[in-house]
A and B are shown apart, each in its own frame.
Chain A
Amino acid sequence: MKTSYFVMLLFLSVAVVSLTAWDKPEKDDLPTTGDPTKSRAALGAMLKVLKHQRCMNCHPTDDRPRQGDDAHAHLFNVQRGTDNKGLAAMRCVACHQTENNKQSNVPGAPHWQLAPKSMGWMGLSDEQIAANLIDKSKNGNRSLDQLMEHMTRDPLVQWAWQPGEGRTVPPVSQKDFHEAVRTWIENGAVIK
């Protein structure tokens, strides 16, 4: 089973690599001042989080969430569905509520869902992930301010640091991640 996913990922990454153009943010959206070196360093810190397996699990480029540090396919054939919130009788909400469940240890957070496919990161290079973050056609039409808001305030994103018992957290603290996002954007949101 794992091999088949691996094969699929390879295929997808090849497909993505062949796409070279993306919708750049509006020019006046990007800060003109700032230190690209600082931005680049901050992006490095951010990527440690974004590429952490537990974050990646809900940012697939296909239609299946993953689980665990080993990124196994979500049990019971769970799928994206038309609204990123599951299939007809297998909605995310069938098991996941708006907070971690202390009895069942099923994780939960507000608006529990898969990241939209355009925000899928699996198999992407660092540069592609960064480019997609600021690409309005892919980031949910967010300005940089809105992107910062999303990455530092959205409760589902912040859940990464409160995942419940037995789940690993990203290698960068929540506070440092917020700081990195701010620094990255304030210094020009470089993508490489």
Chain B
Amino acid sequence: MQLTFEINNQSHTVEVPEDMPLLWVIRDVLRLKGTKFGCGQAMCGACTVQVDGDAIRSCSYAAKFAQGKKVTTIEALANEEKLHPVQQAWLDERVPQCGYCQPGFIMATKSLLEKIPNPSEDEINDNITNICRCGTYHRMRKAIHRAVELQQKSKL
């Protein structure tokens, strides 16, 4: 099929099988490698991107559903001058170890904070359910709180 959609604020038209997971369109066709493959079963969250603002597990999202939609990947978060507040918080708290799952977590957190700018511990626990095998959760929790602070500051 001819898939036309917006990714990271740029419109793209690509010729892909309609059932190809959006993840492979992003990684292999558009060569944006920040979105990761972990399980292919929507379990681990390494492939999390935003589609029209919602956190979506792109390994389980057929390309055809992205038609006309607005997709955001980790590559769009930072600009030349600065990191996205969630990324900055992740750096400040020195979250990553192997780093493989981190873009997925960052995208999920971005989506959470856009909907709930100051989440409670329960809201964090219930919404951030990706898997990190290095076990960086302890710092992630701190980073999520720090991202809240950074976003509040940037709005002042």
Contacts and interface: CB of A to CB of B under 8 A. Distances in A.
B75 interface: no
A88 B116 contact: yes
Contacts of B115: 88-89
Contacts of A94: 42, 48, 54-57
B97 interface: no
B40 interface: yes
A94 B104 CA distance: 12
Interface stretch (A18-26, A98-106, A120-128, A151-159): A98-106
Given A77-B129, A94-B42, A101 B123 contact: no
Interface string B27-69: 0000000000000111100001000001111011110010000
A106 B42 CA distance: 7
B126 interface: yes
Contact of A104 (B60, B111, B119, B126): B60
A90 B19 contact: no
Nearest to B111: A89
Contact of B42 (A79, A88, A104): A104
A102 B19 CA distance: 8
A77 B125 contact: yes
Interface residues of A, number: 21
A163 to B, nearest CB: 16
A99 B128 CA distance: 25
Contacts of A89: 55, 108-109, 111-112, 115, 127-128
A119 B128 CA distance: 28
B57 A95 contact: yes
A106 B41 contact: yes
A8 interface: no
Nearest to A93: B54
B129 A103 contact: no
B133 to A, nearest CB: 15
B8 to A, nearest CB: 19
B42 A93 contact: no
A103 B60 contact: yes
Contacts of A98: 65
Interface string A56-82: 000000000000000000011101000
Most chain B CB within a 10 A radius of its CB, from A94, A95, A104: A94
Interface string A110-124: 000000000000000
Interface in B1-41: 19, 21, 40-41
Closest 5 CB pairs of A and B: A88-B115, A104-B60, A89-B112, A95-B42, A76-B129
Given A87-B127, A105-B41, 10 more contacts: A79-B126, A89-B115, A89-B127, A90-B127, A91-B54, A95-B57, A99-B62, A103-B21, A104-B21, A104-B42
Interface of A: 75-77, 79, 87-91, 93-95, 97-99, 101-106
